[in-house]
Amino acid sequence: MKISTGMKTLLFLGLLFYTASLHASQDSGMRFIENKGQWDSHEMYRVNLKPGFFQVQKNAFHFILFKEDLHELRHEKNSEQMMNGHVFDLQFVGANPNVSFETSKADDHVLNYFLGSDESKWVSGVRQYAYLRYKNIYRDIDLEVYGEGDAIKYNWLLKPGANPESIGVWYAGVEDLHLEKGVLHYKTSVSEMKELAPVAWQEVNGQKRMVNVKYEIQGDTVRLRRYRDWETDRKSTRLNSSH
């Protein structure tokens, strides 16, 4: 995706996969539902998934996943049953606490939340979007998030001179975090997940030149490591996950 800015940008693209398939709960695809007071204030947006949902927070993605398909359970007459679930976070280490959000591709229809008997807490006209972007989550770095197929897709967008090694993601509440041939793997009590290895290139005089980048695990934190052939100050660079 080409970002329209007044200067060249550097882009990192990552894919988060859920092996049981992180399907959106609606056929139209993944949607970011804004929080207008129907949920706790730390939750900026929510994405409903068949096995649960995830919250977009200012410094994290917060996942609540189940073995069961919540979409099917909502349509069952007797949905009061014990469920196997798991909660985990992808926390952005050292991120800007005052990050702002930008959304686009809004749906034509809105949602209404009439929860409980207290009408003062009812919320109407809630918008949902197909695209969300964290603005300046790190210095000169944005993060965009959207859905594509069965995956949650997220891109790091860096302006010239920004340091990709400042990005750190702490995987809190997962097990067996490890790399296999550059692919990031981890487990929860209900699923196994992976993120594909990053691929990168720079645009030089309108031509693409491949450069090297990789994941590096430090405890429970994942960072990006670049190689000497990466010239962030002078070149526009795109980093992409391989399929």
HEC profile for 160-204?
Answer: CCCCHHHCEEEEECCEEEEEECCEEEEECCCCEEEECCEEEEEEE
Task: Determine which helix (DSSP H) or strand (DSSP E) holds 70, and give its type and residue range.
Answer: helix 70-73
Count structural domains, the chain: 1
Two structure tokens written together for 108: 């034509």
Residue range of the domain that includes 172: 10-241
Residue 118 belongs to some domain of the structure: yes
**What are the tens digits of pLDDT across the range 88-143?**
999 999 999 999 999 999 999 999 999 888 888 899 999 999 999 999 999 988 99
**What are the tens digits of pLDDT across the range 39-91?**
999 999 999 887 889 999 999 999 999 876 655 555 555 555 667 789 999 99
Residue 3 belongs to some domain of the structure: no
| Nearest in space to 148 (alpha carbons), one of 4, 2, 22, 10 | 22
Residue 4 belongs to some domain of the structure: no
Torsion of CA 41, 172, 218, 9, to 10 degrees: -40
Residue 55 belongs to some domain of the structure: yes
Residue 192 belongs to some domain of the structure: yes
Write the CA distances from 31 to 91, 146, 154, 220, integer angstroms. 21, 8, 14, 29
pTM of the model: 0.81
Residue 5 belongs to some domain of the structure: no
